[in-house]
Structures are given as structure tokens and as C-alpha cells.
Amino acid sequence: DAGVTQSPTHLIKTRGQQVTLRCSPKSGHDTVSWYQQALGQGPQFIFQYYEEEERQRGNFPDRFSGHQFPNYSSELNVNALLLGDSALYLCASRNLEGATYNEQFFGPGTRLTVL
Amino acid sequence: RKEVEQDPGPFNVPEGATVAFNCTYSNSASQSFFWYRQDCRKEPKLLMSVYSSGNEDGRFTAQLNRASQYISLLIRDSKLSDSATYLCVVGDSGGYQKVTFGIGTKLQVIP
């Protein structure tokens, strides 16, 4: 049973560029959330997708956008990259309709460095 | 006030010691509570959910005090392998269960 997978593992971009990160949820999971974790901080909630729609959003600017596909996989897009966007981007999935609906499983993350 | 507050530590304890972490949350309507463990440069992993009645899993015991809005994690007989950052996580009452993470408490168990 594959867990949550993310790609790429590492990414280096320059300021002003755009980036797309990808996530495949754990088998049987229908909900994907994205988090940004800066060094020395806890993960900060970006947004959550369920049934291909953004359902909740954290305090992040519109430069951060996402998408969920019919197979439940998801993308996170960040436009006009800033140095401060350098962080570990984590994807987490869960089954919103299941008995353990509030337990999330995380992928290994994508480490984004903006130069 | 932060939604979820934790002492970032580090807590340096000898092997075999008992260590306790506390976490406070600001939203009294919060519905779900968790402790996650995160090893250096790795993803967070669910350690245990926290229930109102308290729960125990081996050497780990979690407690919830709704009246005072705090959660605790007790680790008995600390092992070197327990060295990690422990993240307190609180879920809201909304249908989509948005969760908020604390900054994490770093534990270093020393020989």
C-alpha cells in the first residue's frame, strides 16, 4: 500500500519564477492538504482540496494556488517566487468519509530553495 | 496569541528519564487533538490522537484538558530513538477539519 508520494524531492528556483509541486495521496484517501514548513517552524496550512475543489485556505496570498484531479492527486502552484517561499512543502492526505477522517498522513515533502 | 503554543525547547534528558510536554490552544471549539513526531528533515508522522479520557500507547501517554485548553504528552523511560521534534496539532470544528500545528518541541535524549 503506497503512502503519500510527492515530486520532486528537491527544487531550486530563482525569484520571480513559477513552480509546480505534485502529490499523490495514500490509497483510499480523498482529501489533500498542503503545508509550508519553514526551518525551525511547524507546518503552516496552505489549503485543502476535496472533490476537486478548494475547501479551506490558510493565510497565504493568491500566488499560491492548487488543483485536485479526479484521481485525487493534487498540485500546488506558486507564482512570482520570493526568497521567503524557500521551505519544505508537505502534502498530507486523509479519507474525509472514513472512520479515521481526522488522521492525516504526510508525504516526504518537496524542499524548495529560491535564490 | 498563537492558535497553538508549544515550548520549542530543546529538552535535553538522559536515557531512562520521564519527560512531559505541554501545548495550549486558543480555540475553545477545537474538536480533535494529536501529537505528531518529526525527525530531522523528515515528514511529520502521527504519534497518537488525544482523547478526552486520555490515552496511552506503550511508554507514551497523552492527556487533554478542555477546561484549561491544554494537551500534554508524557514519555516514560526515554530512549535515544525518541530524539525528535514533537508537534502538537489541533483540529477545528469545521466539516473539513482544518488543523493547526504548533512550532514543535525538540527532544534530545542523551546517553
Residue-wise pLDDT for A40-88, tens only, equals 999 999 999 999 999 999 999 999 999 999 999 999 999 999 999 999 9
Of B42, B98, B101, the CB nearest to A42: B101
d(CA A53, CA B25): 29
Rounded mean pLDDT, A29-46: 95
Of B34, B46, B97, the CB nearest to A101: B97
Q: What is the pLDDT of residue A99?
A: 65
Instruction: Identify all chain B residues contacting A33, using CB atoms and an 8 Å cutoff.
Output: 99
- Interface contact flag, B42 A101, Cβ < 8 Å: no
**Nearest in space to A89 (alpha carbons), one of A50, A27, A26, A46:** A46
d(CA A68, CA A71): 8
- Interface contact flag, A109 B43, Cβ < 8 Å: yes
